[in-house]
Chains A and B, each alone.
Chain A
Amino acid sequence: MSDDAPEVRLPAAPTSPLEPWPETVKWQSISTDLIWVELLRLAAGVAVVSAVLGVGWALTGSWPFGLALGAVGLFALWRVVTIVRAVRAWGYAEREDDLLVRHGLLVRRLSIVPYSRMQFVDVSAGPLERAFDLATVQLHTAAAASDARVPGLRPAEASRLRDRLTALGEDRAEGL
């Protein structure tokens, strides 16, 4: 490898922002049930805030409360749209040596985490997620900034992914 002309050496890469290396990467999407989980979470938050604002409006009768209530409604609508799109955009891919996770719409993120850097794997499922039969797998490396979280997996898929990740991590264990 020479140092002077890196451009020449680099392979021609596709330029689609969400689909890098389509010939080698098979993206898997996550369960769309996560949409319902996220929507319920949003609904709970919106309900609390609206209740507070509504009581405030009813007691004082001042118009800023009404305005805030309207803003909350608009925000909720906008979030509904983004949640649906964001969940659809979330994806992961297992390559030979690393895990790829992409997510985000406004700010698009792709993480490439080598299995050998894995410190531990978290599988978690909150009550709401459990109600929809979902789980979240998170891969931790020694770097705090590494961002490899895959939500909305079926428990079977989550444990398969966890087992595969731990097996691969042990095979290639490097740590630091």
Chain B
Amino acid sequence: MPAEAPPSDRAVPAAEAAPPGVGPPPDPYQVAGPSSPSGPPQPPAGWAGPPPQDPSARQRLHPLSPALHGAKSLVVVIAGLSWSTLSRVGFGWFVAMVIVLALGASVLAVVSWYNTGYQVVGRELRIHEGLLWRRTRAIPLERLQAVEVVRPLLAQLTGLAELRLEVVGGGKTEAPLAYLSVAEAAALRQRLLALAGYPSGAVPATPAQPLPAGAEPPPPAGRPLHAVSNRDLLISQLLTPQAFLLPFGVAFVATQFLSEGSWSFIAVASTLTAMAGVLLQPVRRVLDDWRFQLARDDDRLRIRNGLLETRSQTVPLHRVQTVRVTWPLLWRMKGWLRLRLEVAGYAAGEADERNRPDRLLPVGDQPTGEMIVAEVLPGVALSSLPLRPPPARARWVNPLSRQVLGAGLTEQVLAVRSGLLTRQLTIVPYARLQSVRVVQGPVQRMLGLATVHADTAGGAGAAAADRDLADAWALAAELTARGQAARNPTP
């Protein structure tokens, strides 16, 4: 079952969706006033505190959330109106438009806050929302992959937090609960994780896997693994194409401005905005990965990072689908690499990709990378993977990068290397394989080559490009067999 069922299944009125006998059945349409059935009505300020006597009653988000949403939409409105509108209508009208639109957005935010509620019923989290089209989403907690408490800048200023749930098969981050007070968010997170069976390991879909089981005896809770130095992070982001091209961009704008002399303020502002878009990525990475700390707590990884927006993520090791090692061209002189991981339930095409816990190591040297890879995938040595290049005739398809391409099998993982300039190594544990595909394009058919794809939940998986056809079939057969063996350790 996907988390995104057809709308007809989802839009069940909450009154019908609540099975009798499971939790208290407060009338979900009773939006006015607190609907805690086991207590007297409470003042609205009571919503901000920890759950009252009956935690499974329907709760509303923090009363400040519409204000925060309104402030967020203000930024969107200004960006949407853009510089050209400002130049066309003049400053006064521009401000008026912004105010009208922002007011409208705020009203909508208040209405949506008023109609949004969440409650925990049995082993489900229900989220009610919508005024005209009421929607009740029931999120089975068995499908919960991770719960994050995120604190964007505005939320940090107001002492609030956002709770994000990641669900198996969900097309996107399911149900961000924005915003709750920090204490409430932490309490709810604990509660959801406990209900999802994380402490007892009672998640039905994940029997004992060889990966966590093969690790050394359980380390102490929260054993720190690595902390990235902020200096290295800064240098690493200066060693990106964007940072390298910045002086040229500035010089271009300056010369244009000086030589023409006719550029208006608007034109310069637009150019700067466009350049900021390009520059944003390294800046964002620095802000996001500031004070990056990685720790291991039993069979979970704990990641903490961020300057403006502090995020702490918990990744259960058995949810790691792939580990991707990247050696960007400009980092090679430093011998640096970057580690990323893909976790199930986080869609690849998510618009806001910063929400995914994909960073395992923003920057680090080879020994650090090796240590962390060995920690995440026990028994995998990064430097001694048995990679074999494709046959010589593959150079017709990859004239420059044939030597880089490589694929190899170890006892527990498939490793695939690719990329001439930005070298990438993708590691997929056999136990995480979802399906295997062999694809042969027309040119490959002439050359007798084929590409083997190893698909994983979340992320692109790995593709061993341009193998010899016989080798590709053998690789596919071997992957299927090993995936089978890894899923059933004791058949």
* 0/1 string, B465-491, CB within 8 A of A gives 1: 000011101111110100110011000
| A142/B461 in contact, CB under 8 A | no
B53 within 8 A of A: no
Q: Closest residue to A98 on the B side, CB-wise? A: B480
A120 within 8 A of B: yes
Name the interface residues of B435-491: CB closer than 8 Å to any CB of A: 435-442, 445, 448, 450, 453, 455-458, 460-461, 469-471, 473-478, 480, 483-484, 487-488
SS of B interface (majority): mixed
| B450/A17 in contact, CB under 8 A | yes
Residues of chain A with a CB closer than 8 A to B2's CB: 119-120, 140
B291 within 8 A of A: no
Q: A112-B476, A141-B457, A143-B456 are contacts. A176–B435 as well, Cβ < 8 Å?
A: no
Residue in B411, B440, B455, B476 whose CB lies within 8 Å of A108:
B440
Measured in the bound complex, the distance between the Cα atoms of B455 and A146 in whole Å is 6
| B437/A15 in contact, CB under 8 A | no
B168 within 8 A of A: yes
Residues of chain A with a CB closer than 8 A to B386's CB: 3-4, 6
SS of A interface (majority): loop
* 0/1 string, A1-37, CB within 8 A of B gives 1: 1011011011111110100110000000000000000
Q: A14-B473, A119-B2, A175-B206 are contacts. A111–B450 as well, Cβ < 8 Å?
A: no
| A17/B168 in contact, CB under 8 A | no
* 0/1 string, A99-138, CB within 8 A of B gives 1: 0000000111111111011011000000000000000000
Measured in the bound complex, the distance between the Cα atoms of B436 and A143 in whole Å is 10
Measured in the bound complex, the distance between the Cα atoms of B455 and A144 in whole Å is 8
| A111/B435 in contact, CB under 8 A | yes
| B439/A145 in contact, CB under 8 A | no
B169 within 8 A of A: yes
Residues of chain B with a CB closer than 8 A to A108's CB: 439-440, 445
Measured in the bound complex, the distance between the Cα atoms of B448 and A108 in whole Å is 12
Interface size class of A (residues with CB under 8 A): 35 or more
Measured in the bound complex, the distance between the Cα atoms of B471 and A12 in whole Å is 9
Q: A97-B484, A114-B487, A176-B457 are contacts. A146–B435 as well, Cβ < 8 Å?
A: yes
| B450/A143 in contact, CB under 8 A | no
Q: Closest residue to B460 on the A side, CB-wise? A: A145
Residues of chain B with a CB closer than 8 A to A170's CB: none
B319 within 8 A of A: yes
Q: A3-B411, A21-B477, A114-B484 are contacts. A145–B437 as well, Cβ < 8 Å?
A: yes
Q: Within the complex, what minimum Cβ distance (angstroms) separates B207 from chain A? A: 8
| B480/A114 in contact, CB under 8 A | yes
Residue in A7, A14, A21, A114 whose CB lies within 8 Å of B435:
A114
Residue in B434, B437, B441, B483 whose CB lies within 8 Å of A142:
B434
Residues of chain B with a CB closer than 8 A to A1's CB: 411
| B205/A173 in contact, CB under 8 A | yes
Measured in the bound complex, the distance between the Cα atoms of B386 and A145 in whole Å is 26
Name the interface residues of A162-176: CB closer than 8 Å to any CB of B: 172-176
Q: Closest residue to B472 on the A side, CB-wise? A: A13
A147 within 8 A of B: yes
Q: Identify 16 new A-B residue pairs, CB closer than 8 A, beyond the known A4-B386, A145-B455.
A: A6-B408, A7-B388, A10-B475, A13-B473, A14-B473, A15-B469, A17-B469, A21-B477, A97-B484, A107-B440, A108-B440, A109-B439, A113-B434, A114-B484, A146-B434, A174-B207
Question: What residues make up the interface of A, taking CB atoms closer than 8 Å to B?
Answer: 1, 3-4, 6-7, 9-15, 17, 20-21, 97-98, 106-114, 116-117, 119-120, 140-148, 172-176
6 of the cross-chain contacts (CB-CB < 8 Å) are A21-B477, A97-B480, A107-B442, A143-B434, A143-B461, A176-B319
